Amino acid sequence: MPLDDVTVHDFRKQAMKAELLDAETEMRLARAWRDDRDEKALHRLVSAYMRLAISMASKFRRYGASMPDLIQEAGVGLMKAADKFDPEKGFRFSTYAQWWIKAAIQDYVMRNWSMVRTGSTSSQKSLFFNLKRVQASLEREAAQRGEVLDSQQISEMVAEEIGVPMRDVEMMMGRLAGSDFSLNARQSTEDEGREWQDTLTDDGPQAEEIVTRNQDLSTLRGWLNDALDGLSDREKYIVSQRLLIEDPRTLGSIGDELGLSKERIRQVESAALGKLKKLLEKNTGDSAQVMAATV
């Protein structure tokens, strides 16, 4: 059930009251869930570490997401951690869960930062959450030395500092520098000012082109139907099944249906196409154009 700002406070208080698990109890609960799918054990394990999930979620509020949503995503990460945790590896569940919680929150923040997907690779994720911090640190250090860094120098230094490709740094800087705006927004404050979407060029075919193409296709299909009438019933059937349906059939399947070998079907098809080509050329002068437009 979605959380709201009122219930977040109560949820946080409840999480803080949850039991603290020692290593032995934690391992026993983890085994019970892994081996027996004991839901009570899962509930105790997750409840005990919900305070950790809430604490981690609160660190991401500066990215503009609401606290209720962040907590829910942190809870998703905690559940995934509980499902994949192997108690035999020898480390505590809290250590393992931190990675899953952080990953779930970061994915949510990046999905909701902009309608344009910000990125999903490890380098893009690292840039999204560290670029501004690293950039500010580099500029501050340069200022202390009496230097002023240009954009190229900053990009190169950020790429080296974070360990990511230069092109990823430039791409992320561009995305974080802008913001989304509605295409329905008007270009001016005047009542009659046109919307930004009115300036977009329609790359699709225009009405005149569509009508002309439909007329041409109708004519070409008519020529093809006339040519098909010059084939025998078997030739017409094979050609239609091989070339004129959405999911063309194999030579073998047609051969099985007609009681002929696959090679014989191929021969009939080849002869029929030769005959069809001559009939089309006789009527139109361009058999290739008709076949390409109608098949």
pLDDT higher than threshold 60 for residue 289: no
Q: Give the predicted TM-score (pTM) of the model.
A: 0.46
Domain boundaries, the chain: 5-113, 122-177, 207-294
6 versus 37: which is more confidently predicted?
37
pLDDT given for residue 275 in this prediction? 84
Cβ contact 79:46 at 8 Å:
yes
114 versus 223: which is more confidently predicted?
223
Average of per-residue pLDDT across 62-68: 80
Q: What count of residues does the chain have?
A: 295
pLDDT given for residue 32 in this prediction? 93
Cβ contact 232:271 at 8 Å:
no
Cα–Cα nearest to 7, from 66, 55, 53: 66
Distance CA 33, CA 20 (A): 18
Instruction: Show the tokens assigned to 127.
Output: 């840039």
CATH class of 207-294: mainly alpha
Least confident of 64-73, 209-218, 263-272: 209-218
Predicted confidence band of residue 285 (pLDDT cuts 50, 70, 90): low
pLDDT given for residue 96 in this prediction? 92
pLDDT higher than threshold 80 for residue 197: no
Q: Give the CA distances from residue 227 to residues 203, 248, 267, 282, in Å, rounded to whole numbers and listed in that order.
A: 36, 20, 19, 9
Cα–Cα nearest to 75, from 1, 175, 139: 1
Average of per-residue pLDDT across 191-214: 59
pLDDT given for residue 38 in this prediction? 93
Instruction: Show the tokens assigned to 275.
Output: 């005959």
pLDDT higher than threshold 70 for residue 148: yes
Check if 5-113 and 207-294 are the same fold.
no
* Per-residue pLDDT tens over the stretch 172-194: 776 666 554 444 555 555 555 56
Backbone conformation region of residue 66, classed left if phi is above 0, alpha if psi is from -120 to 50, else beta: beta
Distance CA 99, CA 10 (A): 26
Least confident of 107-121, 157-171, 247-261: 107-121
CA end-to-end span of the chain: 53
Cβ contact 210:151 at 8 Å:
no
Instruction: Please give the mean pLDDT across all residues of the chain.
Output: 77
Predicted confidence band of residue 48 (pLDDT cuts 50, 70, 90): very high
DSSP 8-state secondary structure symbol assigned to residue 248: P
Distance CA 6, CA 176 (A): 32
β-partners of residue 195 are 186
Reduced to 3 states (helix: H, G, I; strand: E, B; else coil), residue 213 is helix
Backbone conformation region of residue 77, classed left if phi is above 0, alpha if psi is from -120 to 50, else beta: alpha
* Per-residue pLDDT tens over the stretch 210-231: 666 667 667 777 777 777 788 8
Q: Which spans in 90-249 are helix H?
A: 93-113, 122-144, 151-162, 166-177, 207-228, 233-243
Backbone conformation region of residue 285, classed left if phi is above 0, alpha if psi is from -120 to 50, else beta: left
CATH class of 5-113: mainly alpha
pLDDT given for residue 208 in this prediction? 65
The count of other CB atoms within 10 Å of the CB of residue 239 is 19
Cα–Cα nearest to 156, from 137, 135, 174, 136: 135
Average of per-residue pLDDT across 148-162: 82
Cα–Cα nearest to 30, from 19, 18, 41: 41
Instruction: Show the tokens assigned to 79.
Output: 């559940």
pLDDT given for residue 221 in this prediction? 73
